[in-house]
Copies of this chain bind each other. A is one copy, B any other.
Amino acid sequence: MKIEIITIGDEILIGQITDTNSAWMARELTQRGFDIRAVTSVGDCPDDIIRALDIAFSRADILLLTGGVGPTNDDLTKQTLCRYFGTPLIFSEEVLKQNESLFQRRKIPLNLLTRNQAYVPEAATVIPNSTGTAPFLWFGKGDKVLVSMPGVPTEMKTAMREEIIPRLEKQFRVKTYLRQMYLVTGMTESALAGHLAFFEDNLPAGFSLAYLPSGGYIRLRLSAKGEEHAAEMARQGTVLKQLLASSCISESDQKPEELLGEILREKGLMLSTAESCTGGFIAHLITTVPGASAYYKGSVVSYDNQIKEKMLRVKKETIEQVGAVSREVVEQMALHVAEEMDTTCALAVSGIMGPDGGSEEKPVGTVWIATLCGRELLSQEYHVGRGREQNIERTANLAIVQLINMMQRDPV
């Protein structure tokens, strides 16, 4: 079943927000066997919206629209859908009630703009929005379907999970999408592709291999469509696993921080971190995983060298002699944060993220990472690149991967 996603809003076309809804929807729907053919973003302009609907309906069975349904005047999706489907707006007491109770819970009075959210297209099936004021609108067009949703991520996600996806699965039959993921570290994308060239060229028809590089690791996806490929999928997966050998640290679709959490939880170990150049991003990655408090105690973000000395007991002489970006400093940071926070495992980083701060000897992108697990302490130097934000992300991932590698190799 072919789906197209259309996101509506000037804020996307002028680049003031990044559309993260489409990726979320695409992921959820692909896993259930739906086939996303295209994602299109257009502005809050009725003619552009209608043109996008025509194009999308000409090649897809299901159109999912997000955005342009807020209470303010710049939002025009509802009116445009009325024009497209030739249907008037009618007042829904049910939506009004829903919104009144929502505002009561938030202790805010319901204003006129929000009251107007209760006008809905007569031809649409209204699906209540349990977390916001704009209802979900479901239109039929012959065998095809269009669903209009708010662009607020939490509202969209809640209703997609609870209402929209179940209804789509009921109305449309889909082929199972088979896939196997591999989390690969320590290789560039082209080196990995060279290594797998023969395997890839000899994959059976209907199978495909995709490389999804992130800063610091690559996710590899082997996929095929249809339950009939299940046995062959298992066979190819085993071959691929052998080819990847120790470069593959996981066969799940987990992110490194999720895998690390799982390992720590299984082994019953606690972790602490000491971050300089990553400025809290490692702690953030670790704590985005629900339940991280079971294995993570905290972090000292020692952005200033004084803090490294005072709170992590890094020796002043060490910093003076070899600099803050050095093996000696990250090792002291890791050992001392583990002591201070009373954890078996620790992770420490120091580096130069740019754009300034580089030198001939230590250019922007130079990073030292130390990982501690019990009595074993490992420190390594990396060179991550040029852009500040990418460097922070890449360094955080490399640090987490280094600790995973260490824990997988030498069980505590």
Residues of A within 8 A of B (CB): 10-20, 22-30, 36-43, 48, 51-52, 55, 59, 70-74, 108, 111-114, 131, 133, 153-154, 157, 188-191, 193-194, 197, 200-201, 208-212, 219, 221, 273, 275, 278-284, 286-288, 290-293, 296-304, 306-307, 310-311, 340-342, 354-356, 385-390, 392
Contacts and interface: CB of A to CB of B under 8 A. Distances in A.
Contacts of A24: 15
Contacts of A29: 15
Contacts of A27: 14-16
A38 B13 contact: yes
Given A23-B18, A39-B12, A387-B157, A303 B287 contact: yes
A323 to B, nearest CB: 15
Given A300-B298, A301-B298, A342 B108 contact: no
B303 A307 contact: no
A288 B392 contact: yes
Given A26-B14, A40-B40, A283 B301 contact: yes
Contacts of A303: 283, 287, 292-293, 296-299
A39 B38 contact: no
Given A55-B55, A74-B211, 7 more contacts: A38-B41, A38-B52, A51-B59, A284-B284, A298-B304, A306-B342, A310-B340
Contacts of A40: 38-41
Q: When A and B form their complex, which 4 residue pairs have the shortest distance between CB atoms, in order from nearest?
A: A279-B287, A280-B283, A15-B27, A15-B26
Contacts of A48: 37-38
A292 B279 contact: yes
A355 B22 CA distance: 23
Contacts of A208: 10, 74
Contact of A340 (B72, B291, B299, B311): B311
Nearest to A385: B154
Contacts of A275: 280
A360 to B, nearest CB: 15
Contacts of A341: 304, 306-307, 310-311
A157 B273 CA distance: 32
